[in-house]
Amino acid sequence: MRERVDRASDRASGSFRFAEARGRRGGWLLICVFLLLGLCASGPPAAASPLIARCELEGVVDAGSGAYLADCVKRAEEKGAQALLVRLDTPGGSLEATRAIVRAFLGSRVPVLVWVGPSGAHAGSAGVFIALASNVSAMAPGTNIGAAHPVGARGEDVDQQGGEQLARKIENDTVAFAEGIARQRGRNPEWAAAAVRDSASVPADRAVALRVVELIAPTEAAFLTAVDGRRVEVADGDTVTLATREARIESLTPGLSQRVVHAIAQPSIVYLLFLVAALGLVVELSHPGAVAPGLVGIVALVLALMASATLPVRSGALVLMLVGVGLIIAELFVTSGLLGAAGTGLLVLGGVFLVDRFEPDWFVEPSFRPSWTVMLPTALLFAGAATFIAYRSAQTRKLPQRGGDAGLVGEAGTALGPVTPSGGEVFVHGERWRAVSFQPIHEGARVVVRAVEGLTLTVTEAMP
């Protein structure tokens, strides 16, 4: 009887455990069903917006801006960007820096999009090569591109500087460079050659018609919308379909050294830096121990040398400027007026010829030189300051001397005891002095100094 009861109890316990296991399996099944329904309701995960890296080239093409754009290509590849957008507005610059940018663009695994804008901007001289090297180029209305003929920094033809043979060699090399870029990117090689040989320059609509650029776009957003879906070939031979509509744009800022080099690589900045350096060093040498003028002069000189290393600076112009500063400083001691005027003229002349020496790897528009709005006011300011100081110095020399032995003449004092031709003591200018007088003076009388000889004063009694 007891055995039957135990068997019944075991069967009941087994049934309970089975029901409990089925309950747990049912709960997990319900959870899975709910999760599946939630995933179906939410749909597939939303794709992230495409990334467009963006950088700018505004101003002269120099070592700083060249390194910046090449670095932008590298950073865009590392970020996996859909494309690199470059805003371009330049008068030209160093061909060496331009070649570095072109190499980076042609070797980029990320499509490079160049937009010449906003309205009023231009891609001049070296900027032509940069625009041609992009995968897709666009220009804003009111912009122009061209004038890539090799010239000196003042605008003169090469054959006027280095002879016909040198001119032809440089021109042919530059033409080949432009045509090679244009053919690789499927653009008009004939116009690229004309931009170099004949300084051809065209506005935005003509640039599109001549297959120099692909599009006219008033804004960067319009440019990105227009190229969406376009297929381009990148460096490794792959064809990429651009997805730029409503893309997420991330600006790539230049490094500190790149910013500094680009900021100071301007003719007007170099002109000012050399003047400040010369003035600071001259003041320090004429007043040893002042420290501050010398420190400012050294810093300005270092910056000027850094900038001149990236510009075609003429050494003779620097000599003219230094001589001009020296003449203006000399005017402070001579006060004739002629030295100051000559120094001012040399400062202006040095600025005119500062960026004047032809270099085969430097192509800029003729307007690339120190601005008259910088040179004239600076030279006149230096001359005016020197004239004012010289005038005040002349006035000071006419005043009676207030210090030293000569400064005691005419000073009043008091006799500390009887003063006779043989001697006595007086109190003058806060000090006790030995004194003599041709007429006896009693103690306590007011006296006036008439002459100083060594440490002895010649005095007379002051009239009441």
Whether 179 has a pLDDT exceeding 80, the answer reads yes
If pLDDT is split at 50, 70 and 90, which confidence band does 186 have? very high
Across 146-150, 295-299, 320-324, least confident range: 146-150
Helix or strand run (H / E) with residue 225: helix 220-226
DSSP state of 406: G
287 by Cβ neighbours in 10 Å (0-12 / 13-18 / 19+) ranks as exposed
Average pLDDT value for residue range 286-297: 76
Whether 163 has a pLDDT exceeding 70, the answer reads no
In this structure, what are the phi and psi dihedrals at residue 80, rounded to the nearest 5 degrees? 65, 35
d(CA 155, CA 172): 19
Average pLDDT value for residue range 62-85: 93
Q: What is the pLDDT of residues 206-251, one digit of tens each?
A: 999 999 999 999 999 999 999 999 999 998 788 999 999 889 999 9
Average pLDDT value for residue range 455-462: 89
Residue predicted with more confidence, 6 or 180: 180
Q: How many CA atoms lie within 13 A of 86 on its CB side?
A: 34
What are 135's two structure tokens? 């995968």
Q: Rounded to a whole number, what is the distance in angstroms from the first to the last CA of the chain?
A: 157
Q: How many other C-beta atoms are found inside a 10 Å radius of the C-beta of residue 304?
A: 23
d(CA 198, CA 403): 73
Q: What is the pLDDT of residues 88-133, one digit of tens each?
A: 999 888 888 888 999 999 999 999 999 999 999 999 888 999 999 9
The pLDDT value recorded for residue 21 is: 45
Torsion of Cα atoms, 29 then 35 then 41 then 42, to 10°: -170
Q: Does the pTM exceed 0.75?
A: no
CB of 60 within 8 A of CB of 91?
Answer: yes
Whether 32 has a pLDDT exceeding 80, the answer reads no
DSSP state of 401: P
Is the bond preceding residue 370 a cis peptide, omega within 30 degrees? no
Percent of the chain with pLDDT over 70: 74
The pLDDT value recorded for residue 239 is: 92
Across 162-176, 363-377, 417-431, least confident range: 363-377
Which residue has tokens 């590298």?
74
DSSP state of 118: S
d(CA 240, CA 233): 6
Residue predicted with more confidence, 104 or 305: 104
Average pLDDT value for residue range 152-163: 43
Helix/strand/coil for 136 = strand
Q: What is the pLDDT of residues 369-414, one digit of tens each?
A: 677 777 778 777 777 766 666 666 666 656 555 555 666 788 889 9
